[in-house]
Amino acid sequence: MNSINKAPLILLAAGFLFLVTVVPFYYFKTKQQVSLYQFKGRVDSVSYDVKGEPTIKVNGKKYDLPVNFWDFNHQIDVGDSLVKVKNSMVVRILKKNGTVIIKN
């Protein structure tokens, strides 16, 4: 094999190694940041992006809730109460009608 044929293989291997190291790092770093969220109160506002990922505001603080960790499926509405304890990945949604939804 000459050096011209090796260049694409080297680039492919480098790209693969990059993905194998960066993607898990980003995933666990994000999970660590999200696990530190702590909130308890009524949802002041909620918006969903194209992936269905909610951005909520509780007690005046804004939180992004990644779909990688929770699939809320557009279940959070303004006026619902949300509870999340620090260092836990469990989110409790208390709907206005009294229904309780638990996501972990």
**DSSP SS3 for 25:** helix
Span 42-98, pLDDT tens digits: 999 999 999 899 999 999 999 999 988 998 899 999 999 999 999 999 999 999 888
Q: Are residues 86 and 55 in the same domain?
A: yes
Q: Are residues 44 and 29 in the same domain?
A: no
- Domain of 63 in residue numbering reads as 37-103
Span 4-17, pLDDT tens digits: 678 888 899 999 99
Q: Are residues 41 and 19 in the same domain?
A: no
Q: Are residues 59 and 9 in the same domain?
A: no
Q: Are residues 13 and 24 in the same domain?
A: yes
Q: Are residues 67 and 97 in the same domain?
A: yes
Report if pTM > 0.85: no
Q: Are residues 12 and 41 in the same domain?
A: no
Number of domains in the chain: 2
Task: Give the span between the Cα atoms of 82 and 79, in whole angstroms.
Answer: 9
